[in-house]
């Protein structure tokens, strides 16, 4: 049985890929109209969304592999991620 997700829809904005390793890596700053982002990673990783240049650690929010999730943010923030091996974090701004 298929599940249906209801709620507010958003337009896809700028997208970027962040290469993740065992050392934290951050995205570029989100745009001036970005209040939510769609994140999906090729391997499980830990993420942190914050002002400045955040540093993700292994106790931060877990993003499961290949499981798209939407997070609230503030314009100008960045997302950082870290993983146990290597992964690609896809970041899509929702506007």
Residue ranges per domain, the chain?
12-94
**pLDDT reported for residue 58:** 97
Q: Chunked in runs of 10, what are the mean pLDDT values of the chain (95 residues)?
A: 62 97 98 97 98 98 98 98 98 97
Nearest to 15 by CA among 94, 93, 95: 93
Q: Domain 12-94 adopts which CATH fold?
A: Jelly Rolls (2.60.120)
**pLDDT reported for residue 20:** 98
Distances (CA, A) of 52 to 1, 55, 74, 85: 43, 10, 12, 25
């Amino acid at each position: 049985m298929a599940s249906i997700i209801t709620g507010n829809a958003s337009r896809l904005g700028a997208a970027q890929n962040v290469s993740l390793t065992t050392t934290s890596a951050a995205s570029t700053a989100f745009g001036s109209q970005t209040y939510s982002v769609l994140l999906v990673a090729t391997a499980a990783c830990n993420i942190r969304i914050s002002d400045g240049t955040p540093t993700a650690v292994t106790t931060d929010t877990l993003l499961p592999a290949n499981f798209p999730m939407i997070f609230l943010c503030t314009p100008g923030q960045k997302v950082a991620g870290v993983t146990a091996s290597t992964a690609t974090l896809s970041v899509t701004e929702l506007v």
